Amino acid sequence: MPATTGNQNDFSAIAATMDPIKRINIGDVVQGTALYATPKMILVDLAGQFTGIISGSHLHSSIEDVSEIGVGSTVEAIVIDEDEEAGLIVLSLRKASQARLIEKLHQNFDTKEIITVIPNEANKGGLLIDLDGVKGFIPVSQLTPLHYPRVEGANAEKILDHLRGLVGKPFKVRVINVDNDGKKIIFSEKAAIEEQRMDALSKLKVGDNVEGVVSGILTYGLFVTFNGLEGLVHVSEIDWGHVSDPSKFAKVSDKVTVQVIGIEQEKISLSMKRLKTNPWEDIASRYNVGDVVTAPVVKISQFGIFLGLAGGVNGLIHLSEISHDPIENVEDLVRVGDNVEAKIIALDITSRRIGLSMKALTEAPKSAETPASEASADEEKPAKKPRATKKKTEEAANDNESNEEAAA
């Protein structure tokens, strides 16, 4: 009996020196020391009271480099289960890193810190981000002009194709929304360059020449990005002549130099043609009224036929100057690409107009009052038709829009 009493006293003395056993619950964040560490499993000593195990997908972490964890390393993890048979506490580095990541994203939101993310998927609304199981999203509206999908007619499939091309690329972003459980995290690439963009806009002036990158091509012009800003080169400002297809002048990602011709709040108008020599400046040395020219048809409109003249300017053969006879359909006489001979009948450098005439090269038919003898003579020599050769040109010169408006 005395021996038993002695043993009990010894045990009581030892127990008094031990830390009280703490209850561990699922969801608790625990910290311990690595007892064993391999790429497939880590055993963790939890205050000498329990042993935790980390394995499988729970060995991943977006916060720390797991490969650097070795025996003696401090490990922080979340309790996700208990293996009663093995007497082990099942832990997760991955869930712990998610919790710390969400906390860090809250801090990023507060501090407006710029971080880098890499999209792993795309849908029609934007780019999806997976940060070790924490889901994020960059909406299309939060992309910078350089990445924004400029698609004709807002075609959904083409937008998706464009966004898929951005998957796997790093994006510098800011957190603009994050909830407590990390289920709704919104990133913005546009917000990440807001200060840069506003600073660039405040310094921009009409007349500045800037270098940029073509970020989009639509039927009405070219979008060009520079210094976080984006401007539009309207079709009328791409070249001195008429531009029917902007894609013939540049491709997406091409580097171009443009001139700022208008700033209205955040709407920036640009020009490419104003950095080129204006062909109208020496047109007087090229042409005179009365000259006969042969040039390709570059456009047929309700006003008449536009010919592409040397120097990249256009002349208009008004409907009334095509033929002495009534015309039902101009394309019955000529088509785009045909070479046509015409006479210059008007030349206005100031208004940038060149008036041409096909009928001036042919004799007018005799009136109904012409004597029969003269009429019969005329019948023997039929009136000449407007001269046009059906020879296609590989590239038609462009016409000036103001010509068309003036003709109206």
**Token output for 228:** 């976080």
pLDDT in tens, 203-249: 999 999 999 999 999 999 999 999 989 999 999 999 887 788 899 99
Give the span between the Cα atoms of 376 and 272, in whole angstroms. Answer: 59
Buried b (16+ CB within 10 A) or exposed e, 171-204: bebbbbebeeebeebbbbbbbbbeeebeeeeeeb
- Asked if residue 22 lies in contact with residue 49, where contact means CB atoms within 8 angstroms, the answer is yes
Q: Which residues of the chain have pLDDT under 50?
A: 1, 368-408
Residue 408: the pLDDT is 32
In tens, the pLDDT along 90-117 reads 999 988 888 888 888 999 999 999 999 9
Task: Report pLDDT digits (tens) over 3-47.
Answer: 555 555 555 555 555 556 567 888 889 999 999 999 999 999 998
pTM of the model as a whole = 0.62
Q: Output the pLDDT for position 13.
A: 58
Structural domains for the chain:
26-97 (2.40.50.140), 112-192 (2.40.50.140), 204-275 (2.40.50.140), 279-365+382-407 (2.40.50.140)
CA-only gyration radius of the chain, Å: 39
